Amino acid sequence: MSEQNQILEDLSSSDYKYGFVTNIEQEFAPKGLSEDIIRFISSKKEEPEWMLEWRLKAYKEWQKMEEPQWANVHFPKIDFQDIIYYAAPKQKKELNSLDEVDPELLKTFEKLGISIEEQKRLSGVAMDIVVDSVSVKTTFQKTLKEKGIIFCSMSDAIKNHSELVKKYIGTVVPIKDNYFAALNSAVFSDGSFCYIPKGVKCPMELSTYFRINAAGSGQFERTLLIVDEGGYASYLEGCTAPQRDENQLHAAVVEIIAMDDAEIKYSTVQNWYPGDKDGKGGVYNFVTKRGMCKGKNSKISWTQVETGSAITWKYPSCILAGDNSIGEFYSVAVTNHFQQADTGTKMIHIGKNSKSRIVSKGISIGKSQNTYRGLVKVHKKAENARNFSQCDSLLMGNRCGAHTFPYIEVDNRSAKVEHEATTSKISEDILFYCQQRGIDSEQAVAMIVNGFCKEVMDNLPMEFAVEARKLLNISLEGSVG
Amino acid sequence: MLKIKNLKAGIAGKEILKGFNLEVNAGEVHAIMGPNGTGKSTLGNVLSGKEGYEISDGSALLNGVELLELAPEERAQLGLFLAFQYPVEIPGVSNANFLKASINEIRKSKGQNPISAPEFLKLLREKMELVEMQKDFISRSVNVGFSGGEKKRNEILQMAMLNPQLSILDETDSGLDIDALRIVANGVNKLRTPDNAFIIITHYQRLLDYIVPDFVHVMYDGRIVKSGDKSLALELEEKGYDWIKEEVEAL
Ligand SMILES: Nc1ncnc2c1ncn2[C@@H]1O[C@H](COP(=O)(O)OP(=O)(O)OP(=O)(O)O)[C@@H](O)[C@H]1O
Ligand SMILES: [Mg+2]
């Protein structure tokens, strides 16, 4: 089959209920990246001129950059001309009932305790009665509107709130920040935009919406959250259900900004396809996430549970610009089989009395490699900056690896920076001890891992934590025996 | 209750248990003594199903059920308890969580519901008193940072919580100070009933002053070579093992 036909074949089995125009061929950009492709993307999305200019500038920068080699991950070279940079939002093939869904997937749903309705939605089963989600969505949007909160897709924001987007996009993660951020800036597909006005505390987790709209934001996701003075938002990203995606490369950018006295809590569960147990397939996840504590007394807290992807390269960071600002990073990263994760954070202290706290828990199983990489930087002006870092690694078996690279740069003598690290191992002897007390080894591993991660899990919003815990247990399956 | 017949087992190509026989009835306490390296801990490990041992012959029935064919957790669920000579540390898992998981798994295997929180706490408090464990113990990780003596007391606490049919205590008295020894022995004595049984592996007669055994066995070279009542322990204390070795070698 020729490539053209293949594309058409793929298209005809997809469903375009997202209101895209009828000319099918134009919904798909040819493979590869060029100025023309970027113009195509921008015009498809009906973007204003400034957005296009911005993308083109990013593209020019990207062309001058080299792919980073320093992360402790190994993978074959990515051919950036072999990627399709624009496709109308993918719809999974619509199925008639759950009977048509991969039984493995259903089993996982069950273990996660996901409701039948949601199972159908996630696996693309046609739902004629969508009472649940529709009503939830409407009441949700009504509440947000009353509070003056803007929460919509990035594409909508670029069209409807152009000034806000223009003002903030690229201010936390500049175009030139890194190779993948530059690529994302040039070709980003969609993502979420949120603006919380002065003094408004968002009364609900900004997740319900996301889960309702979970249908793929594409591989180059772009998210921008701004919380104005005295505001508060808690944002949940991701989904605990298994996310299968043929797109091998994911390069998202998330920028968040907290003004004076504002607080943002950003929680992620990342469960992209990790590849099979022999290391075949799986998503490469190269993400740039950064928060700017712009105002005084502002606070940004990242919590992440990473169990998916073949390769993860991710360092949610905080720029603590405001005086008395606080940055937090709580992370659990599990790697199994042949997964590789290089993740951590950067805490950049600029404001006086700024504080940061890093709690990283890495779990390596099988033949996987798990790396923590963290930077704590205290600028000259940051009087009385404080950092505490705790990096713990847990190993299972003899073939996996855990690595810790803490970088500390301090230019102010009043700073206090503390770093603690531990490595422990779930040995055969520990498993036997548990078994001798009636606890089988799989449960023993789950118990030990849950204990190990508790401090991080406790930071997740309640509704997320339960699922995340189950997810954790699922990702440990087959780790013993 | 327990019938071990002609048990032969080894590790890394080396035979350690060389035709071990022992019968234990409900209500009995058996002490096993013997020189270092004769296979006492190996016996406990093989009975409770530790991986890595090659079992070449024999059987071990607990209430008529062949233990050697079961997974370690199944043996525990049937009421076999091993107090380890060297208890391991489990970082991140609190004693309370560990005990609760253990109790609930055993209950589950019997088709019972999980223990309720108040019931669990009541039981735990009662048993902690028995072994004179400090309060902060509940939230501390299993054996992490425990002194040698505390680890041994923790084994007895777990035993008291699980109320097993057959308990094997592998040198639980080693490394205990006089007070701790009394506490441990007291714990065991209080748990003795006509329905359960104990195998106590020890090097020292002094523990047997506190826990009076019904039988004392001497193990040598992978077998029981002499059995008697508690006076045998006194005799060993006095004369050492040489006369027994001589007796065995003369055969
Ligand atoms: N993994 C192993 N590989 C090889 N030999 C082993 C292994 N484990 C135990 N042994 C050997 O088996 C023999 C019996 O060991 P065991 O621990 O059962 O002795 P014990 O009677 O409990 O001694 P002690 O009184 O010192 O506790 C010893 O010679 C020991 O070195
Ligand atoms: Mg021993």
Least confident of A34-43, A213-222, B108-117, B121-130: A213-222
Which pLDDT belongs to residue A244? 57
Which pLDDT belongs to residue B41? 96
**CB-nearest partner of B72 from A427, A435, A448:** A435
- For chain A, what are the domain ranges? 2-476
- Verify whether ligand 1 is closer than 6 Å to residue B13 (CB atom): no
Which pLDDT belongs to residue A338? 82
pLDDT 10s digits, B172-227: 998 899 999 999 999 999 999 999 999 999 999 899 999 999 999 999 999 999 99
- Per-residue DSSP letter, A177: S
Least confident of A230-239, B11-20, B65-74, B164-173: A230-239
Query: Which residue of chain B comes nearest to A423, CA vs CA?
Result: B91
Which pLDDT belongs to residue A96? 66
The protein residues having their C-beta less than 5 angstroms from ligand 2 (an ion) are B 40-41, 85
| Mean pLDDT of all residues in B110-132 | 94
Distance B249 CA to ligand 1 centre (A): 21
Distance B204 CA to ligand 2 centre (A): 13
- Per-residue DSSP letter, A207: T
Proportion of chain A above pLDDT 70, given as a percent: 77
CA distance A386 to chain B (A): 26
Of residues A138 and A311, more confidence is placed in A311
CA distances from A47 to A26, A183, A192, B109, B191 (A): 17, 18, 16, 63, 78
- For chain B, what are the domain ranges? 2-250
Which pLDDT belongs to residue A41? 87
Dihedral, A57, A60, A64, A70 alpha carbons, nearest 10: 60
Which pLDDT belongs to residue B249? 84
Cα end-to-end span (Å), chain B: 31
| Mean pLDDT of all residues in B56-85 | 96
Distance A427 CA to ligand 1 centre (A): 19
Instruction: State residue B33 phi and psi, 5-degree precision.
Output: -120, 170
Strand-strand pairing, B215-220 and B223-228: antiparallel
Strand-strand pairing, A299-306 and A317-320: unpaired
Which pLDDT belongs to residue A269? 83
Q: Report the length, in residues, of chain A.
A: 481
Least confident of A277-291, A313-327, B3-17: A277-291
pLDDT at A217 over 50: no
Cα distance between residue A111 and residue A169, in whole Å = 39
Beta carbons of A451 and B97 less than 8 Å apart: yes
Q: Which of A176, A173, A171 is nearest to A65 (CA)?
A: A176
pLDDT 10s digits, A421-446: 999 888 899 999 999 999 998 899 98
Proportion of chain A above pLDDT 90, given as a percent: 44
Which pLDDT belongs to residue A415? 96
Selected residues 407-436 of chain A with any CB under 8 Å from a CB in chain B: 422, 424, 427-430, 432-436
pLDDT at A211 over 60: no
List Cβ neighbours of A451 (8 Å cut-off, separation of 6 or more). Answer: B90, B91, B92, B93, B94, B97, B141
Cβ atoms of A370 and A396 within 8 Å: the answer is no
Which pLDDT belongs to residue A240? 57
Which pLDDT belongs to residue B10? 96
pLDDT at A123 over 60: no
Of residues A45 and A421, more confidence is placed in A421
Which pLDDT belongs to residue A102? 64
B2-250 under CATH 3.40.50.800, yes or no = no
Cα distance between residue A311 and residue B77, in whole Å = 41
Strand-strand pairing, B2-11 and B53-62: antiparallel
Beta carbons of A433 and B87 less than 8 Å apart: yes
- Verify whether ligand 1 is closer than 6 Å to residue B135 (CB atom): no
- Verify whether ligand 1 is closer than 6 Å to residue B113 (CB atom): no
CA atoms within 13 A of residue B25's CA, in its CB half-sphere: 3
Assign residue B130 a region: left if phi > 0, alpha if psi is -120 to 50, beta otherwise? alpha
